[in-house]
Amino acid sequence: MDYTATELMICCASRELEDGKTAAIGTGLPCAAAMLAQRLHAPNLVILFEAGGVAPLLPTMPVSVGDSTTIHRAVMATSMADVMQFCQRGLVDYTFLSGAQIDPYGNLNSTYIGGSHLKPQVRLPGSGGANDLASFCWRTLIIIKHDRRKFVPKLDFLTTPGYLTGPGAREAAGLPPQTGPYRVITDLAVLDFHPVSKRMRLCSVHPGVTLEQVQAATGFPLEIHEQLQTTAPPTPHELELLRQQVDPQRYLLNRN
How much is the mean pLDDT over the chain?
Answer: 95
Does some domain include residue 83?
Answer: yes
pLDDT of amino acid 256: 63
Does some domain include residue 106?
Answer: yes
In whole angstroms, give the CA distance from residue 143 to residue 137.
16
Give the residues across from 47 on adjacent strands. Answer: 23
Does some domain include residue 251?
Answer: no
Does some domain include residue 253?
Answer: no
The yes-or-no verdict on residue 255 having pLDDT over 80 is no
- Contact assessment for residue 81 and residue 69, using Cβ atoms and an 8 Å cutoff: no
Does some domain include residue 185?
Answer: yes
* Phi (first) and psi of residue 219, to 5 degrees: -85, 10
Give me the number of domains the chain comprises.
Answer: 1
Does some domain include residue 252?
Answer: no
In which region does residue 249 sit, left (phi positive, over 0), alpha (psi from -120 to 50) or beta (all else)? alpha
pLDDT of amino acid 26: 86
Does some domain include residue 36?
Answer: yes
- Residues 197-245 have pLDDT tens digits of 999 999 999 999 999 999 999 999 999 999 999 999 999 999 999 999 9
pLDDT of amino acid 63: 87
The yes-or-no verdict on residue 101 having pLDDT over 80 is yes
Give the CATH number, domain containing residue 173: 3.40.1080.10
- Residues 7-38 have pLDDT tens digits of 999 999 999 999 999 999 988 999 999 999 99
The yes-or-no verdict on residue 118 having pLDDT over 80 is yes
The yes-or-no verdict on residue 194 having pLDDT over 70 is yes
Whole-model pTM: value is: 0.94
Residues recognised as catalytic: 50
| Domain encompassing residue 162 | 5-246
Q: What string of DSSP letters covers 77-116?
A: E--HHHHHHHHHTT---EEEE--SEE-TT--EE-SEEEE-
Does some domain include residue 255?
Answer: no
